[in-house]
Amino acid sequence: MNNQDLNSKSLNRRFPPGFLWGTATASYQIEGAVKADGRGPSIWDTYSHTPGAVWNGDTGDVACDHYHRVDEDLDLLAELGVGAYRFSVAWPRIQPTGKGPANQVGLDFYRRLVDGLRSRNIEPTLTLYHWDLPQQLEDEGGWCVRDTAERFAEYVDLVARSLGSDVERWITLNEPWCSSWVGYGIGRHAPGIQDIGMAAAANHHLLLAHGMALPILRAAVPSAKVGITLNLGDHQPGSEHELDVAAARRADGNLNRLFLEPVFHGQYPQDMLAHYATSKPGFSVVQDGDLELISQPLDFLGVNYYFPSTVVDASRAKEARVAGYRVALTEQFPDLHLRSLETPGRDRTAMDWEIEASGLTTLLVRIRDEYTTVPIYITENGAAFDDYVDPNGHVLDFNRVAYLQEHISAVHDAIDAGVNVQGYFVWSLLDNFEWSYGYSRRFGIVWVDFPSGTRLTKESFRWYRDTIQSNTVEYATSIGST
């Protein structure tokens, strides 16, 4: 198709009645108050206070001070008009050392949040683990040891009994790939360990924790809708060369199939088991019965999508350069023996992530075809840009509006293709602590002035509010003329 074949048309696309619109945050990224009311230290407190670990030496000590501004943030959610809010519970607020009885004051905070949501007709969607492992458990081996999965199950029981049926949806884990491979494999997240064998063991123990939590949640809250949130991507080979196709398959194995296959098919992918066979302890930690636990039925799958990837085999970087790509000089995971390509002409976010919404549609269709037909919620999608408050006091983040519009349209494309997507959550409500990037990357649809904590709604907030109200997304697309 050439340019003359293209007609630009504006379409309004309606979402199914009851489609759930939401927004998401996570405890360590917004709460602050790290020493308040008996909260214990987490691995992210330790990591962020390690010199050189986080940009500018930023920490989550204060963050958005959400712990003290929860009512103001609830009012923002009401103004936005969302049907659901996804937040996470900080394990060290509930069990300061990761074990033992519940710290009631910690539970009270989340009770107040849940009640505040319900009184505003917003459905709570609760993530039980968004990376803030109690430091004490890390000192005893962290996710590399089986015991942490057992401790997680006990913690889940405490939270489930306390908040019970007032929480609509329960998400066991957020992005276990990041906890395991980024936290233990390359050390760019807490606890900052660089050991591929430990990362593989953490991968399994995180999924085991998910599996152990499921019957506990179902027993404590029979009405609970329970799922897991995975960060997934669409990996394309830079060419049809068999080495590049194999490289894309390895990248897909590490990010996607190491999680989707055990959760939905009760097995780890054979090619990945072979790939990590010499990394110890690695997947040798898997015990009889674990995969049965991990693959118990779910009520939904949470999908976090941000960007697609194009890769070639590391040995073919030169050919890719000749073909016009910019090629990464190094890779996060040398053992995968691949190089990422920058697709010429594709825009990028402030995270340097390529913007390509069709990757989300491709991914969703593939999940339906290869893994599951349970309802899917896009539990995170959004973008960081170099926002600023203009002289009139506005944040006119039209680039974020465009990003959201394209990606919500891509979700609609998936629904049109028959994928059972039932909701979408923007990441994130607030600018917040973006892990090793500290406060240098802003994902919020609400600006946060970090020195004062003042909130200011951005243009994207108003655009998303209108989208929710109309239950449609308007977008300009190029459609081939016939």
Enzyme catalytic residues:
175, 380
Least distance to ligand IFM from the beta carbon of 56, Å? 17
Among 47, 67, 427, 461, binds ligand IFM (CB under 6 A): 427
Note the Cα 127 to chain centre separation in Å.
11
Among 434, 442, 448, 473, binds ligand IFM (CB under 6 A): 434
Question: Of the two residues 175 and 244, which places its CB atom closer to ligand IFM in the complex?
Answer: 175
Positions 25 through 84 that interact with ligand IFM (CB under 6 A): 26, 29
What's the rounded Cα separation, in Å, for the pair 155 and 153?
5
Supply the DSSP symbol for 347.
-
Beta-bridge partner residues of 10: 476
What's the rounded Cα separation, in Å, for the pair 36 and 238?
50
Note the Cα 133 to chain centre separation in Å.
16
Please check whether residue 336 is in contact with residue 251, taking contact to mean a CB–CB distance below 8 angstroms.
yes
Positions 381 through 420 that interact with ligand IFM (CB under 6 A): none
Question: Of the two residues 314 and 351, which places its CB atom closer to ligand IFM in the complex?
Answer: 351
Least distance to ligand IFM from the beta carbon of 432, Å? 7
Question: Which among 31, 301, 285, 261 has a CA at the least distance from the CA of 142?
Answer: 285
Supply the DSSP symbol for 134.
B
What's the rounded Cα separation, in Å, for the pair 477 and 467?
17
Least distance to ligand IFM from the beta carbon of 383, Å? 9
Question: Of the two residues 46 and 472, which places its CB atom closer to ligand IFM in the complex?
Answer: 46
Among 123, 380, 413, 431, binds ligand IFM (CB under 6 A): 380
Sign of the dihedral defined by the CA atoms of residues 328, 260, 205, 169, in that order: positive
The number of residues that bind ligand IFM (CB under 6 A) is: 8
What's the rounded Cα separation, in Å, for the pair 61 and 33?
6
DSSP 358-387: HHHHHHHHHHHHHT--S-EEEEE----B--
Question: Of the two residues 25 and 148, which places its CB atom closer to ligand IFM in the complex?
Answer: 25
Least distance to ligand IFM from the beta carbon of 459, Å? 20
Pattern of binders to ligand IFM over 173-192, x per CB under 6 A? --x-----------------
Supply the DSSP symbol for 145.
S
DSSP 40-86: PPBHHHHHHTSTTSSGGG--SSSTT-TTT-HHHHHHHHHHHT-SEEE
Enumerate the H helices of 184-286 as residue ranges: 196-220, 242-252, 258-265, 270-275
Positions 124 through 183 that interact with ligand IFM (CB under 6 A): 175
Question: Of the two residues 397 and 434, which places its CB atom closer to ligand IFM in the complex?
Answer: 434
Question: Of the two residues 188 and 280, which places its CB atom closer to ligand IFM in the complex?
Answer: 188
Pattern of binders to ligand IFM over 255-294, x per CB under 6 A? ----------------------------------------
Least distance to ligand IFM from the beta carbon of 102, Å? 25
Least distance to ligand IFM from the beta carbon of 29, Å? 6
Nearest residue to ligand IFM by CB is 26
Please check whether residue 249 is in contact with residue 271, taking contact to mean a CB–CB distance below 8 angstroms.
yes
Least distance to ligand IFM from the beta carbon of 411, Å? 17
Question: Of the two residues 313 and 380, which places its CB atom closer to ligand IFM in the complex?
Answer: 380
Pattern of binders to ligand IFM over 304-343, x per CB under 6 A? x---------------------------------------
Least distance to ligand IFM from the beta carbon of 284, Å? 29
What's the rounded Cα separation, in Å, for the pair 103 and 96?
8
- Token reading at 186: 């390359």
| Cβ neighbours, 10 Å, residue 74 | 19
Question: Of the two residues 184 and 427, which places its CB atom closer to ligand IFM in the complex?
Answer: 427
What's the rounded Cα separation, in Å, for the pair 54 and 56?
6
Contacts of residue 288, defined as CB under 8 A and 6 or more positions apart, other chains included, come to: none
User: Which residues sit at the interface with ligand IFM, rule CB under 6 A?
Assistant: 26, 29, 175, 304, 380, 427, 434, 443
